[in-house]
Structure 1
Amino acid sequence: MRPQPTRHAGPRLYHKKSRMGCARCKARRVKVAKPSCGGCSRHQVECVYPPSPASSLQSLPRGAASRPPQVQPAETHAGAGVGDSSSSIDLWITHHDSSSSPVWGENSPPSGHRDDSNRSQSVASNCSSSHTGDSSSAVHEANDYLSSLTDPEVLEIPESRERRMWELRLMHNYLSNQAQQFAKAKATAFHGQQPTPGVALTDEDFIWGRDMPRLAFENDSILYNMLASSALEMWTRTTDPHEKEQLRLLQQKYIAMALRQQRLAVGNLSGDNADMVCMAALTILLNSFALVQTLDLTPWQPPVDWLRMGKGAGAVLTIATGYIGATGNDRITRFIKSGPKMDPPSVFAPENRTHLTWLLENDRGSTTNVGDFEFENNKTALDIYNKILSYIGSVQKAIADKEPIYFVCRRLIGFTMYCPELYHGLLVQRRPRAMITLAHFFKLWIPYDDLWMIGKTGENQVRGIFETLPPEWKHKVAPIFDEYNLEP
């Protein structure tokens, strides 16, 4: 019998990027076919698809978006992509994929829209030689952040007396109820003194309550973010259905306008606007944090949009701070120095997680590939879970040390910036350990349910995760209900 000729494997061809393909195939970087991909069928594993755009944050503005400018390192040749953006999950707006939208072509925008691909310069084109050392991961995350920002063609709210009255009302509410929002929190008795000008913080360091409203005179993104967060805060309190609907529409419109301004600013990043870009990124980070409470929990979906948005905002902060001098007079430096100290060695210290490692144990004998065998040939997953547990432990330590509530809230908000990006994929795949660790992070939110930006988010997310977990893993989350005297 003539021996079969050796078949030489050709180079692996990368597929056309899509946001809605099978997560397993994306990780292996192979072509994805819907509704059942051949790669998963051949390996006899289940296809894992991310949640559809309809299940993303319901409160976020929707519409077509032009192709965003891309952040590239200075060394990258023109036309070379930075990282794989196929896993990007848009937070603020649902981008129409060219493969699924008959209106928006791959290379041309729809009629009536300008082509903005060259309108905003890339960050790389503005980088000086001192910034060429930025890590590729930060650049990748900044790209995803840019692609999450809304279409620059978003129209302004028409000028009218109604708009002026609403903006006056929203600004009054912001100054009255949000600038010093922790002063009357029920958990204050268990924490250190809240910052007030001239007491816990100097006037110069009291940035959020005093400087931020002033910055709104100079930066439209900050102004619109303040109005959006004020509308959301009022939405959480009002009982009038008509007003509730109006406030949600205002929140959506103002956040879209804020993101348009931020996108243009980041696309033209320089030493002149870096401080403002950083402060605007903080307001966007706060808005995305507050929007988690609006997520639909039937069925529960992992809040990967929020996680990715925070990761991207952190990347923008990393890049933008590189443009700021060492004088320490800029606002973002003063904000960071105002605390808490969140350096990675202390946040991810192994001793922070020693009391939490039981959450990863497969003590009920799960025999699935996410049970006993999850760590067999993949130590990366274990490293990721350990980082998450260490972060949770660091927040628990801060609470035990009676840090001020605003310190604790900054730690909760900062989770998205420190959270490894691969953790997002583990959540999309519904890995039990990923969901369990996330539940124990969200349980930290439960005592602060009277804060407008948190509400019932902690309890609701814990319940949603508990109902989604396989039976043999539920006992890892069940004790949370007893700990906080909640009905299972």
Structure 2
Amino acid sequence: MPRRTHTKSRHGCKDCKRRHIKCDETQPACNNCQHARITCTYIRFTPASNSTTTTTTTTTTTKATATSASPSATTLTPPSENVLSPHNDSSNASPDLQIDHLHLLSHFLLEAGPQSGMGVYLVDTEVYKLFMAKATSAPYLMYEVLAFAALHLSRSGSASQSKHYRSEAVRLQTQALAAFQDSVAAADSREGVSMLLFASLLSNHTLADIVRPDRVESDVDMDMDNLATPDFLDKFIDYMNVHRGVRAIAGTSWDDISTSELAPLIARATAELSTGENSPGGETAFLDPLWGLPDASGDLDESARTALKEAIRNLHLVAVAEKHYQARKATDAEGVKSSPSSSSSSSYSQRSMLFNWPALLTDEYSALLTQRNAQALVVLAHYAALLHPYSDVWIVGDAGRMLVRPIADRLGPSWVSWLDWPLAVVGSVT
């Protein structure tokens, strides 16, 4: 029997050519590949001055979600530079980077995100779906997701793997920031939710970057005291300013955000903070001495004193919320022990409110920190002590101790009595 012929499609995808079927050349994914739920790859020939460069564009077609009746195609255009081999041309770079992107996305979903304490949109199913949906439609958010995963991967593996993923994290974050600036310039208020998620993830990335252990590579059993330097204090203040950007974005896009799928999360966070308003004073007695800080010296004007009081008040609120959060976790853990089949996701769908304190800070308090005002640094040291129990979370590390000790050294003996509690907390863990 003679072989069945087919009509050639000159610019069809690679898979249709391989299968000897006619491609309808639909992009980013042809109908044949969509129906087969396979990767659709087009080869384009771009003329250059002296030669012809072949580039490959790959579109991954994934199975539709339960709410969709047809498959969807998502394309993430990779940067032109291949960090594995910087001098390779794009014909070699594109396929490898696409595979690397899929690996990074998987790592974010399964490892980097869940282990970061970001919990809220990685455990709460509805917000998690929103996060992924926004990432596929906002390139800056997708690039930051991949950069965050690469940073986490740089913490493990061989030295060469660590170096590769560290470079990849920097490169992808650069892409993310460039794409974000383009979106800001477009002034599209409808992207408020995507921008808020981006700012939150970017702040987590910034914190993880400054506490990463590879900053000291000479000894596997490194002494964390070697990292506790004034330079780290500078970097942490920079991180807090990045985190404050979350509040700025929320303010400028509030109409969009307050009516979005994030509304239930915002309501929960507000309720968490409100528990501190009417809580018994004994719950945060260790912070009570801070109320005397604004009057500890006579060199502060009324604006600075107000900023200090606001920072202290918000620290009390997140400290109370943290106590309640830990109590719920303990109760839920006991419930799971006694009845493994039971489910109590209400507690675990919320993250610790401690991570929100930097977003609550005012411009005035941030300015005091930049000026290295003693009272502002004392408040920061108390926040660091509250953060210290999260040293096993990879984005936090030993930030608590790395903050308290240089602050104590900077302020000297005249302020040491204000730091008794923070020093006791970070000194209790060897």
Give the match for residue 322 of structure 1. Answer: 255
1:359 matched to 2:293? The reply is no
Query: One-letter code of the match for 2:290?
Result: L
State how many pairs are aligned.
307
Distance 1:408 1:173 in 2: 20
1:171 matched to 2:67? The reply is no
**Pairing partner for 1:336 from 266, 282, 299:** 266
Residues 366-405 of structure 1 aligned to structure 2 (within 5 Å): 372-375=297-300, 378-401=301-324, 402=327, 404=347
**Pairing partner for 1:250 from 150, 168, 172:** 168
CA contact under 8 A between 2:388 and 2:399: conserved in structure 1?
yes
- Return closer, same or farther for 1:399/1:338 CA change in 2, 3 Å cut-off: closer
Query: One-letter code of the match for 1:454?
Result: V
| Structure in which a larger fraction of residues adopt helix | 2
**Pairing partner for 1:284 from 186, 197, 202:** 202
The percentage of counterpart residues that share the same residue type is: 18
Residues 188-337 of structure 1 aligned to structure 2 (within 5 Å): 201=124, 203-204=125-126, 207-208=127-128, 210-236=129-155, 238=156, 240-294=158-212, 297-300=228-231, 301-302=233-234, 303-323=236-256, 328=259, 330-337=260-267
| Structure in which a larger fraction of residues adopt strand | 2
Unaligned residue ranges in structure 1 (runs of 5+)? 1-153, 186-193, 363-368
- Return closer, same or farther for 1:423/1:344 CA change in 2, 3 Å cut-off: farther
- Return closer, same or farther for 1:484/1:275 CA change in 2, 3 Å cut-off: closer
Distance 1:456 1:425 in 2: 25
Query: One-letter code of the match for 1:456?
Result: D
Distance 1:182 1:261 in 2: 24
Larger Rg: 2
- Return closer, same or farther for 1:451/1:406 CA change in 2, 3 Å cut-off: farther
Distance 1:347 1:263 in 2: 38
1:455 matched to 2:397? The reply is yes
Distance 1:449 1:462 in 2: 14
Give the match for residue 469 of structure 1. Answer: 411
TM-score normalised according to structure 2 size? 0.61
Deviates more, 1:279-288 or 1:425-434: 279-288
Distance 1:449 1:162 in 2: 35
Query: One-letter code of the match for 1:163?
Result: L
Where relative contact order (Cα < 8 A, 6+ residues apart) is larger, the structure is 1
Unaligned residue ranges in structure 2 (runs of 5+)? 1-77, 83-92, 216-226, 329-346
Distance 1:222 1:349 in 2: 38
Deviation of 1:397 (Å): 0.8
Deviation of 1:478 (Å): 3.7
**Structure 1 counterpart SS, 2:137:** coil
Deviation of 1:257 (Å): 0.9
- Return closer, same or farther for 1:448/1:334 CA change in 2, 3 Å cut-off: same
CA contact under 8 A between 2:228 and 2:401: conserved in structure 1?
no
**Structure 2 counterpart SS, 1:166:** helix
TM-score normalised according to structure 1 size? 0.54
- Return closer, same or farther for 1:234/1:406 CA change in 2, 3 Å cut-off: farther
CA contact under 8 A between 2:378 and 2:419: conserved in structure 1?
yes
Distance 1:195 1:342 in 2: 13
Query: One-letter code of the match for 1:224?
Result: Y
Residues 118-157 of structure 1 aligned to structure 2 (within 5 Å): 156-157=80-81
Distance 1:374 1:468 in 2: 18
**Structure 2 counterpart SS, 1:181:** helix
Give the match for residue 361 of structure 2. Answer: 419
Root mean square deviation of aligned Cα = 3.7
CA contact under 8 A between 1:228 and 1:251: conserved in structure 2?
yes
Question: Which portions of structure 1, spanning 4 or more consecutive aligned residues, are displaced by more than 4 angstroms?
Answer: 194-197, 294-297, 342-355, 403-406
Query: One-letter code of the match for 1:173?
Result: H
Deviation of 1:350 (Å): 12
Distance 1:349 1:422 in 2: 27
Deviation of 1:430 (Å): 1.9
